[in-house]
Structure 1
Amino acid sequence: MSIRSNKDIILLNPQGNCEELFGKLQLPFSVIHQDVPMDYALPTNPFEFANSSVVVKLLRMQKPHASLCYMNVKRVVSLNGEIIRLPRTRNEAISYFKRLSNNKHKVTTAVGIRYDDQLSSFVVQSDVTIHRLSEKIIAQYVETGEPFEQDVGYNIMGVGQNLVKKIDGSKYNVAGLPLDVLRTFLTDKKIIAVEKGEQVHGN
């Protein structure tokens, strides 16, 4: 498979496994970090929250160049429609996984791009069922440090894969970036192109 980039792609404030997963597209990219103010009142619905977040950040970013393509990703975890705040301390992480234990939650990811003075976005949602977790397993996982390195509180590309019983939807979405949808999205927007005679295969 041969894919070329029609614009320089820049990831704005990537989190978790975003950079590693984007690298699977085998496209050149760079990363910038900006402190983008988020004093805008975001919706509480997970779908609208994630989408509004990427739109606002891309609109408020500093000194964008029209010739470049900026991409921002926002992921949230919700349980019964309520967005769960990410754990910041050991005790918060233990409470977090007690809520997820033996339960189904939703991972919602919004991906937005800004290019040629245009802004587009899409949202992907996946359902994740977590095994019944004992207090010992929760404590052991918290000690790995993964809950504090990921923007959904666990890493299915790491030790966290052992917590997950079932995924309904895009596994890449739960891992950090919905590559299958992103590749089609960037192609449709003519940000990337598949060389003539080649086909893009989803994983």
Structure 2
Amino acid sequence: MADRRFTNTTAVRQLVLASSSPRRRELVGMLGLSLPVLVLSPDSDESTPADWSPVRIVEQLALRKARAARTLLPNSADRESVIVGADTIVVLRGEVMGKPVDVAEAHRMLSGLQGTEHEVYTGVACIHARDESQESVSHRLTRVTMKTLDDAAIHRYIATGEPMDKAGSYGIQGRGGVLVERIDGCYFNVVGLPVSLLSDMLAEFGVDVL
């Protein structure tokens, strides 16, 4: 990857993760950063126009989350932070799947995914808390092929409760992993945060993982 470090980058003393997802917290923890990590759960508008592409959806929602977290940092010390926002969606034959609103929708999603290949997009936004000119946004795409499941297996999986807070109604890092036949692309992208991409983006802010 070409060196895209911002010039005159304001010193970064903290990483802020704008996410309530425990999976994203764990993945950030994997990086072993020397910086302290602050986790915030900002409220942001997640509505998008019907004609937006999957890439635009995840990149813009990730950016909204990061910008919303910026408003929650009143202390001057916290302003010397790089804020990370992320958003993940599942796309099946052009249909965008977020988190299911209820069991019936989880069943519909899982029934549609079984025996097919779908796409998982995660958008990542990194912004400097103080310097609004320093913003970087990107995404990753992973293709996932699911096993063919019978209806009883789908119901048993839903009964575990795992699908209810996952885009596409499954979690590859949990029991949902047994539903997956193969993937083409980044595994961590399907979990919800492509760590390889994130490390490259943090480097733009002068934060080196390795």
TM-score, normalised relative to structure 2: 0.82
What residue is the counterpart of 2:138 in the other structure? 122
Amino-acid identity (%): 27
Q: Structure 1 133/193 Cα, relative in aligned 2: closer, same or farther at 3 Å?
A: same
Residues 106, 126 of structure 1: 8 Å contact kept = yes
In structure 2, the residue corresponding to 1:106 is in which secondary structure?
A: strand
Give the structure 2 partner of residue 197 of structure 1. none
Is 1:33 equivalent to 2:41 in the alignment?
yes
- Structure 1 counterpart of 2:208: 193
Q: Distance in 1 between matches of 2:42 and 2:138?
A: 22
1:96: how far off? 0.9
Letter in 2 for 1:173: N
Partner AA of 1:24 in structure 2: M
Cα drift, residue 56 of structure 1 = 2.9
Partners of 2:50 and 2:86 lie apart in 1 by 15
* 1:46 matched residue in structure 2: 54
Aligned to 1:148: 164
Deviations 1:56-78 (A, max 9, x none): 33334424454111111000000
The C-alpha deviation readout for 1:158-199, integer Å capped at 9, x for no partner, is 101000001000011112210122112212331x225xxxxx
User: CA contact under 8 A between 1:129 and 1:164: conserved in structure 2?
Assistant: yes
Q: Residue 76 of structure 1 aligns to which amino acid in structure 2?
A: I
Instruction: Report the residue type matching 1:162 in the other structure.
Output: V
Q: Report the secondary structure of 2:38's partner residue.
A: strand
Question: Is it true that 1:84 corresponds to 2:97 in the alignment?
Answer: yes
- Provide the C-alpha distance between the structure 1 equivalents of 2:86 and 2:141, rounded to a whole number of angstroms: 13
Do 1:42 and 1:52's aligned partners in 2 also have CA atoms closer than 8 Å? no
1:162 has 2:168 as partner: no
Q: For the Cα contact (< 8 Å) 2:140–2:194, is it kept in 1? A: yes
Contact kept, 8 Å, 1:187 with 1:193, in 2: the verdict is yes
Contact 1:42 1:53 in 2 (8 A): no
**Inter-partner Cα distance in structure 2 for 1:23 and 1:95:** 34
CA distance in 1 between partners of 2:30 and 2:172 (Å): 16
Shift in Å at residue 42 of structure 1? 7.1
- For normalisation by structure 1, the TM-score amounts to 0.84
1:20-44 residue CA offsets vs partner (Å, 9 max, x unmatched): 1111001231111222244664753
Cα distance 1:42–1:72, how it changes in 2: closer, same or farther (>3 A)? farther
Tell me how far apart the structure 2 counterparts of residues 129 and 91 of structure 1 sit (CA, whole Å): 22
User: In structure 2, do the counterparts of structure 1 residues 16 and 91 end up closer, same or farther at CA, with 3 Å as the change threshold?
Assistant: farther
Task: Output one character per residue of 1:49-97: Cα deviation in whole Å (capped at 9) or x when no partner.
Answer: 1111122333344244541111110000001222124312112111110
- Unmatched runs of 5 consecutive residues or more in structure 2: 1-10
The number of residues matched between the two structures is 190
> Is the counterpart of residue 109 in structure 1 residue 122 in structure 2?
yes
Amino acid at match of 1:109: T
Deviates more, 1:60-69 or 1:162-171: 60-69
Higher alpha-carbon deviation: 135-144 or 57-66: 57-66
